[in-house]
Amino acid sequence: MPKRAETHSEPVPAREELNACRRCPLWHDATQGVPGAGPTSAKLMLVGEQPGNEEDLQGEPFVGPAGRLLSEALERAGLERHDVYLTNAVKHFKFELRGKRRLHKTPGQLEVEACGIWLEQEIQAVEPTVIVALGATATGAVLGRKRVALSTLMDEPVEREGRLVVATYHPSFVLRQRSEESRHAAFERIVASLRQAVRLAAGRRSR
Ligand code: URA
């Protein structure tokens, strides 16, 4: 995918800024804040929910099981990780301890809203033509809505301040499916959404 010239005025939030963030309590138990990754010239931005256990430890988005699945989906859509800017709605890992295991907990609305300034800064800095929102939390965060019905929003891209938002399943949703058949269907849906995002980005001039 052709890259745009670097004309962006705002930088994306730095790791240190996220580590210093006290806008919600999640920093306290997380190892570190996880900034977005990828070229700031990308036309596509992918937004996930929050870092998972491995992302929290490594400080990089989508490097755990969901990230590996996302890489496969990107590949199927003719994209590579370095073609897109990858980030999360919430930058610190929210979890509950079960023995020694840290189990993912869905971030609450207050945490999503508190983290909104960082996502907004990334959108302003990267100026993506199309944003792919992975799952309901990301879709709500990108569209600034408290509650979203993902299944209805997945039908058509939604316009958000001149950019298109393609809502799709989160890769973890695929991993949670019990049958091979539903895993396959959910994965193919993500691939189709990524392909749609590529087409939309190609057909639309950047703002
Ligand atoms: N899930 C997410 O939403 N983001 C990550 O970075 C990893 C898993």
Tell me which residue has tokens 């890259």.
3
Query: What does the pLDDT read at residue 4?
Result: 44
Query: What does the pLDDT read at residue 205?
Result: 54
pLDDT single digits (tens) 35-60: 999 999 999 999 999 999 999 999 99
What's the sign of the alpha-carbon dihedral 70, 71, 76, 79? positive
Kind plus residue range of the DSSP H or E element containing 132: strand 130-134
Query: What does the pLDDT read at residue 10?
Result: 82
Pick the atom of ligand 1 nearest to 86's CA: 6
Domains detected in the chain: 15-201 (3.40.470.10)
Closest CA to 65 of 40, 85, 48, 84: 48
Query: What does the pLDDT read at residue 2?
Result: 42
**C-alpha atoms less than 13 angstroms from C-alpha of 122 in its C-beta half-sphere:** 32
CB 55 within 8 A of CB 102: no
What are residue 165's DSSP bridge partners? 131, 158
Look up residue 80 and give its two tokens: 């590579």
Query: Within the chain, which residues score under 70 in pLDDT?
Result: 1-9, 205-207
| Dist CA 173 CA 35 (whole Å) | 22
Task: From 32, 46, 50, give the residue whose CB has the most ligand 1 atoms within 8 Å, as the site to mutate.
Answer: 50
Query: What does the pLDDT read at residue 113?
Result: 98
User: Is 174 close to ligand 1, i.e. is its CB under 6 Å away?
Assistant: no
Pick the atom of ligand 1 nearest to 62's CA: 6
User: Is 38 close to ligand 1, i.e. is its CB under 6 Å away?
Assistant: no
CA geometry: angle 31, 118, 192, nearest 5 deg: 95
Query: What does the pLDDT read at residue 3?
Result: 42
Query: What does the pLDDT read at residue 17?
Result: 98
| Dist CA 136 CA 165 (whole Å) | 13
